[in-house]
Amino acid sequence: MSRKLLVDIHTHLYLPRYAQLLRARSQIPRITTLNGEERLVILAGEASTGRPVGPSYWDRNEKLRFMDTHGIDVSIVSPANPWLDFLPPAPAAQACEELNSDLEEYCATSPQLEGTRFKRLYGMAYLPVVPGAEVDAVCRSVESLGKLPHIKGVILGTQGLGQGLDDPVLLPMWETLARAGLVVFLHPHYGMPPSVWGAQENGHVLPLALGFPFETTTAVARLILTGLLDKLPTLKLLLAHSGGALPVLSSRLASCIAHDPVASSRPQHDARYYLGRMWYDAVAYGPEELAFVASTVGRAGRYAGNGKEPETRGTERLLWGTDHPFFPPLKGEAMWMSVTENLDAVKNAPGWSEVEKEGVRGGNAVDLFGL
Amino acid sequence: MSRKLLVDIHTHLYLPRYAQLLRARSQIPRITTLNGEERLVILAGEASTGRPVGPSYWDRNEKLRFMDTHGIDVSIVSPANPWLDFLPPAPAAQACEELNSDLEEYCATSPQLEGTRFKRLYGMAYLPVVPGAEVDAVCRSVESLGKLPHIKGVILGTQGLGQGLDDPVLLPMWETLARAGLVVFLHPHYGMPPSVWGAQENGHVLPLALGFPFETTTAVARLILTGLLDKLPTLKLLLAHSGGALPVLSSRLASCIAHDPVASSRPQHDARYYLGRMWYDAVAYGPEELAFVASTVGRAGRYAGNGKEPETRGTERLLWGTDHPFFPPLKGEAMWMSVTENLDAVKNAPGWSEVEKEGVRGGNAVDLFGL
């Protein structure tokens, strides 16, 4: 590739069919109307007025316009939370099949990136992982994605079949995902129980800024403790928001495991080892954060135990993203601060070479997703 | 000081009078007896068998022996959680006065560190901050600490008077603490609601490794959002466990505040600015973590807004600690891994000079606590 691509791997959509589903609902999650304007209400404890929602969530032209404004060549779009989590198993399975077919068409009919083999849009699919579902149905859904050539991964929340992702019943799903070689984009929705945010009115700040990364951190730590990453070393887990708090708490996690009589013998390796087995979006909003996350990936080999593995730079597992269409500019500016912040973070990451920055901006995504 | 001191600023105790209080209880928190061995049960959701508890929690000779084994010159001991949180206001106030007097004696009668002006032990006191208490009573308790010369700070949980530390009613307490120049050691106890840890049996790992730092992070973010750190720039807040997830989520927090119509105008500065106004224990168990925390302290001046403040190295606000007597070695080794890990983290922190390492190991504590 002579061209230096900017690839956005954290960019969401609500397909029109999904928006209709939310409009038809009278409970959270839903799309409601206030003074003639549509509002999205998806978080527990969120005021019933929610936040504005519009074409940037479902209109492909808006997605492409946003990409053009910010110089984004390719986007790997994923459905926004809360996915199908609120549906019973049968309607979830049906909606999943229809939505994934819509998503394939959304990507397949997108423009070619001029002068390249790439489409402008690829997708990560829904899975019908909802309480009460059978894991076999989930596995069949994963396998059916093989027929959708522009689907390069799946997006997955943390509730599993109601007991979280460390539910042993889910093992066949993970095996099927690993076998299919699909990227699994682990993404939060539930945050933490709203009581922890207190009584002061702080808008959406605490559930988004803290609750989301806490949720991802918890889910991955629980996966590490089950030994899943020992069983399935080829599973491609991509963590939202740069892994949340996992990198900064990984040595504490390792120490707490080592000191716990119940858990100490559970994972085969020091917890820090597994950070080198996963991928991370570069949606952390600051250059020091990105450099640090890379360092915790790079040092993982140090914790391989017997048969030491080499340390690496760590940057090879970071992939740039925007979280569009969330975090729109408060004053309607054309350039989104949430995008420029994450671009600047890569540009200013201390110690990174230009080649590494290019990898984080696009090359790593081309490799991981096999575009 | 020609001597290079090793000072432990994160080291706990249950005074004998407090242990008696826990033994007399039939509900959590309590000390119970199982097969003739005393057990400590303090966490919600913790099995009724809790964990072993013994003289390392209350016997001063054990504390000094531990210090000698690990080459620790001076310890600034603080009462372990959950402090007085479970008592009604009147008994809490009385216990507080008695326990702080015990603590003063515990420190005042400790040995001199040979050839120096230092005692081996100093203390951080209890405050009677419990649901239903009057803030005036808390303020009087703070002021009374002026009569206890070996008390250099207070330890504070996050529940406040029942509504958390961002409760506006608490402002006089913060003002009194700032005026007294006492270090406020902010320490977790509650973690997150146990439901988030799921159904698998992972011992204490998740509430300790993740819940504790999540709680501290949440409490500090809530304080930043109230504008407390704008009102009281001289308040000396010391954050347990290196600030938990706050450093790695600080740019995300800043961005979420900037994008939130309710919160965007609340704090005077970018959220990252306030990280340079606080202090952090160096109890993060890994060298990359420590270097990263320092970098987020050091960069704070970049976010001062108008009238830019200089960036610093950041190491000047990190202070070494052990979390003794928690995290004892599983196999009874004399040298505690939880100590050597945190010593090695300082020794191996990438990019730190020898002088900076000495500061983190002891000099910064002498300065901050005014020993």
Asked whether residue B168 carries a pLDDT value surpassing 90, the answer given is yes
Say how many Å lie between the first and final Cα of chain A, rounded.
12
| C-alpha to C-alpha distance for B207 and B185, rounded to whole angstroms | 20
Contact A337 B199 (CB under 8 A): no
Q: Is residue A145 part of a domain?
A: yes
Whether residue A254 has pLDDT greater than 80: yes
How far is C-alpha A207 from the geometric centre of its chain's CA atoms? 16
- pLDDT tens for each residue of B276-298: 999 999 999 999 999 999 999 99
Residue A249 to chain B, least CA–CA distance (Å): 7
CA atoms of A63 and B162, how far apart (whole Å): 46
Q: With 70 as the cut, is the pLDDT of residue A259 above it? A: yes
Query: B7 near B121, Cβ under 8 Å?
Result: no
Q: Nearest by CB to A261, which of B166, B203, B217? A: B203
Q: What is the DSSP letter of B158?
A: S
CB-nearest to A245 from B163, B198, B245 is B245
pLDDT of residue A46: 75
Average pLDDT over residues B250-272: 94
Peptide bond into B193 cis (omega under 30): no
What confidence tier does B46 reach under pLDDT thresholds 50, 70, 90?
confident
Check whether A336 has a pLDDT greater than 60.
yes
Number of residues written out for chain A: 371
Tokens of B295: 């970098």
User: In chain A, what residues touch B263 (CB-CB under 8 Å)?
Assistant: 202-203, 205
Distance CA A158, CA B230 (A): 37
Which residues in chain B have Cβ-Cβ distances shorter than 8 Å to A240? none
pLDDT number for residue B50: 86
Mean pLDDT of chain B: 96
Instruction: Report the candidate in A35, A359, A323, A353 with the shortest Cα–Cα distance to residue A187.
Output: A323
Q: What is the DSSP string of A111-165?
A: PBPTTSS-BSEEEEE-----TT--HHHHHHHHHHGGG-TTEEEEEE-S-BTTTBT
pLDDT of residue A50: 86
Average pLDDT, chain A: 96
Q: Is the pLDDT of residue A131 over 70?
A: yes
Q: How far is B147 from chain A (nearest CA, A)?
A: 35
Asked if the structure places residue A40 within a domain, the reply is no
Domain assignment present for B179: yes
How many pairs of residues across A and B have Cβ atoms under 8 Å apart?
231
Nearest to B252 among A200, A284, A295 (CB): A284
B47: left (phi over 0), alpha (psi -120 to 50) or beta: beta
- CA nearest to A183, candidates A139, A160, A149, A151: A151
Q: In which domain, by residue range, is B137 found? A: 7-15+61-369
Residues in CB range of A344: below 8 A, 6 or more apart: A287
pLDDT tens-digit profile of A156-214? 999 999 999 999 999 999 999 999 999 999 999 999 999 999 999 999 999 999 999 99
Q: Tell me which chain A residues have a C-beta less than 8 angstroms from the C-beta of B337.
A: 255, 258-259
Decide if A19 is inside a domain: no
Find out whether A162 and A132 touch, Cβ atoms under 8 Å.
yes
Query: Rounded distance, CA A299 to CA B349, Å?
Result: 13
Q: Tell me whether residues A203 and B262 touch, CB distance under 8 A.
A: yes
User: What pLDDT score was predicted for residue B43?
Assistant: 83
* Chain segment A346-355, per-residue pLDDT in tens: 999 999 999 9
Give the residue-averaged pLDDT of B342-348: 98
Ramachandran region, residue B241 (left: φ > 0; alpha: ψ -120 to 50; beta: rest) = left
Alpha carbons A198 and B166: distance in angstroms, whole number: 8
Q: What is the pLDDT of residues B301-334, one digit of tens each?
A: 999 987 678 999 999 999 999 999 999 998 889 9
pLDDT of residue A248: 98
Please list, residue by residue across A62-99, b when 16 or more beta carbons sit within 10 angstroms of its beta carbon and e when fewer do: bbbebbeebebbbbbbbbbbbbbbbbebeebbebbeeb
- Model confidence at B48: pLDDT above 80: no
Give the residue from A65, A71, A97 showing the smallest Cα distance to A5.
Answer: A71
How far is Cα B246 from Cα B276, in angstroms, rounded to an integer?
12
The verdict on residue B201 lying in a domain is: yes
Tell me if B29 is assigned to some domain. no
pLDDT at A1: 47
Task: Round the CA-based radius of gyration of chain B to a whole number and report it.
Answer: 20
Find all residues with CB under 8 Å of B181, minimum gap 6, and list them.
Answer: B234, B236, B370
Facing residue for A330 by CB, picked from B251, B259, B350? B259
pLDDT, tens digit (0-9, with 9 covering 90-100), for B142-165? 999 999 999 999 999 999 999 999
Side chain identity at A116, as an amino acid letter?
T
| Burial (Cβ within 10 Å: 0-12, 13-18, ≥19) of residue B262 | middle
- How far apart CA A293 and CA A240 sit, in angstroms, is 12
Contact B41, B65 (CB under 8 A): no
The mean pLDDT of A244-264, rounded to a whole number, is 96
Residue A283: name the closest of A193, A188, A196 by CA.
A188
- Of the candidates A283, A192, A285, A182, the residue with the CA atom closest to the CA atom of residue A240: A283
A158, A262, A288, A337: which to substitute to probe chain B, counting the most B Cβ within 10 Å? A288
Task: Please identify which residue in the block is written with the tokens 């900064």.
Answer: A248
Query: Residue B163, exposed/middle/buried by CB under 10 A (0-12, 13-18, 19+)?
Result: middle
Give the tens place of pLDDT for each residue, A79-112: 999 999 999 999 999 999 999 999 999 999 999 9
Are A259 and B196 in contact (CB < 8 Å)? no
Query: Cβ of B200 and A255 within 8 Å?
Result: no
User: Given an 8 Å threshold on Cβ–Cβ distance, is A296 in contact with B285?
Assistant: no
Number of other residues whose CB lies within 10 A of the CB of residue B251: 27
The stretch B329-347 carries a mean pLDDT of 94
- Rounded CA-CA distance A243/B289 in Å is 15
In a domain, A55, yes or no: no
Within-domain flag for B348? yes
Classify burial at B105, counting beta carbons within 10 Å of its beta carbon; exposed 0-12, middle 13-18, buried 19 or more.
middle
Q: Stretch A23-30: mean pLDDT, rounded?
A: 94
Q: Which residues of chain B does A349 touch, with a Cβ-Cβ cutoff of 8 Å?
A: none
Q: What is the mean pLDDT of residues B227-249?
A: 97
Q: Which amino acid would we find at residue B165?
A: L
CA A40 to chain centre: 20
pLDDT value of position B44: 75
The CATH number assigned to the domain holding A69 equals 3.20.20.140
- pLDDT confidence of B1, banded at 50, 70, 90? very low
Out of A200, A244, A330, the one facing B225 most closely (by C-beta) is A200
Domain count of the fold of chain A: 1
Reference A205, options A193, A197, A216; nearest CA is: A197
- ipTM beyond cut 0.95: yes
Q: Are A121 and A107 in contact (CB under 8 A)?
A: yes
pLDDT above 80 for A48: no
Plot region of B275 (φ>0 → left; ψ -120 to 50 → alpha; else → beta): alpha
Q: Pull the structure tokens for residue B135.
A: 């803030």
